[in-house]
A and B are shown apart, each in its own frame.
Chain A
Amino acid sequence: MVELKNVDVHYTDGPRKQPDALNDINIRVNDGEFVFIVGDSGAGKSTLLKLLTREIQPSSGRVFVNGYNLKKLRNRKLPQFRRSLGMIFQDFRLIPTLTVYENVAFVLRVIDKSKKYIRQRVPYVLNLVKLNDKAKAYPGQLSGGEQQRVAIARAFACDPKIIIADEPTGNIDPKLSYEIVELLQDINECGTTVIMVTHNHDLVKYFGGRIINLKEGSIAFDGYIEGE
């Protein structure tokens, strides 16, 4: 579960205070939900994601993610908290020197899973994103859509409670974008909460569901729309 209560974030530029990046935000995302977060550039989407991964702290208000109070979370507990999240980025962030298999296995090693578990889990998640036959390929040998599927497999490999996808369709062919969202919906159906940030309004209209629209740091809309 994700909960933001009266959250304000403002950045300072030297002695000058900047306009609020987020202003009095109240959001609650229940377990198993699929939420689109939309908004123009500078609306506060990135700031919101940084709050959820605890890259930054709110200036005021409270943030709870997966039962962790992020304001009180100590640095030594940060790795443990982050293991409960799966992150997907616009630029994929795969390690170019590792194969597809090794990229997925890498995060499992990071969270100290056994060799046996890794040998079972990696083929399973690669099968889920239909990339079993590309296990030995390097990221550079894959298309953008395929690379993003590897990133999804990597995020899902750790069996996180929440997947946070930051513009996952931003760098890929518009046609393939639908496949990526469908894949995330499949994962969501397994019980994983998915929070997807996008500025692709067509995609949001097509799939529908819960939409949170940010405008100039505030919530302009939080509700459900019907898909096409």
Chain B
Amino acid sequence: MRMSNFGYLVRRGIGSVFKNAMMSVASFFVLLVSLLLIGLSVIVAMDLSIVMSNVEEKNEIQVYVNGELDQTTLNHITDAIKNNPNYLNVIYYSKEQAWEDEKAKMSDYKDLFDNLKENPMPHTFRVTVKDISVISQTADELATIEGVEEVMAPLDFASALVDIRSTLSVIAGSILVVMIATSIIIIYNAIRSSVYARKQEINIMKVVGATNAFVKIPFFIEGMFIGIAAGAASWFVTKVTYEAIVQLFREDLTIWRIFGLVNIIRFDDITWYVLAANCVLGALLGAVGTIISTGKYVKV
């Protein structure tokens, strides 16, 4: 196809967006909201995984060993911990060190400590895990190591984190599916109404020997134009919304620090990726909607 004729089809496609203004505007806004929700879900999901890993890093299983611990047993327990598939890091904290630290912490009750004949503190191995979702299983496994008396793990906290993460994944996934489906349906309707408005033109095209591609290109341009425009607009709205949410959290420094929000994504760092992703996704949704709506109705 000649460039001049392709240009003509592009102009007709874009012209159709404005001729079909009502449907175009409706599609534009539905797509904008869809892309906004999809974009925010993805960024928030990425932020959450950063926050989760911050929290996870602080989360550890404490493995206690009472009584005396010779070097051989210490090595045996350390090796056994390191052999666990969920092991990430281990710090050994001797009972002597624990005792000294405890005494320092409670210096006001020095008399109490002086009356104790034996050091009551256990030897402690602080084990950081890779995956918090299987922390309970890991704790059980570590408890079976020979010489280990007791294992303490923040199981409630871990399960709460796991629950939050899986709930958020389900919500983000549902938003994604619903929004993509809604976007395709609205584009489908917009293009169908455009096909209907240009029924006569399409019939003439068929009669004079237009190829399927020639008939369909303007509709593709129309669908993709709406998609790209909605993508660009949703990038801007996403930026404003995300920065406003971040600002809201930033005002509460306690939450900010506890959850390690200092490390979350800065929009400026990903702005071009978001713009490109929004425009590509918008164009893709426009194209898919057009394929479905023209496939059946526009056939030479």
Contact = CB atoms under 8 A, between A and B. Distances in A.
A142 interface: no
A93 B200 contact: yes
Contacts of B201: 95
Q: Which residue, B200, B204, B209, has most C-beta atoms of chain A within 10 A?
A: B209
Interface in A114-172: 114-115, 154, 158
Interface residues of A, number: 23
Nearest to B198: A95
Interface in B187-235: 200-201, 203-211, 214
B273 interface: no
Q: Is the interface of B mostly helix, strand, loop or mixed?
A: helix
A87 B206 CA distance: 11
A106 B203 CA distance: 13
B276 to A, nearest CB: 33
B5 interface: yes
Contact of A95 (B4, B204, B209, B214): B204
B209 A80 contact: yes
B207 A82 contact: yes
Contacts of B210: 79, 110-111
A47 interface: no
B1 interface: yes
Nearest to B204: A93
Q: Which residue, A83, A114, A115, has most C-beta atoms of chain B within 10 A?
A: A115
A109 B209 contact: no
A207 interface: no
A107 B1 contact: no
B4 A82 contact: no
Nearest to A87: B207
A53 B8 contact: no
B177 interface: no
Contacts of B209: 78-83, 85, 110-111, 158
Interface string A80-97: 111101010000010110
B208 A87 contact: yes
A110 B205 contact: yes
B4 A115 contact: yes
A228 interface: no
Interface string B74-92: 0000000000000000000
Contacts of A110: 205, 208-210, 214
Interface of B: 1-2, 4-5, 8, 200-201, 203-211, 214, 300
20 contacts: A79-B209, A79-B210, A79-B211, A80-B209, A82-B208, A83-B209, A87-B207, A87-B208, A93-B203, A93-B204, A93-B207, A107-B204, A109-B5, A110-B209, A112-B2, A114-B4, A115-B2, A154-B208, A158-B208, A158-B209
Given A110-B209, A154-B208, 13 more contacts: A81-B209, A82-B206, A82-B207, A87-B208, A93-B200, A93-B207, A95-B201, A107-B204, A110-B205, A110-B214, A112-B2, A114-B2, A114-B4
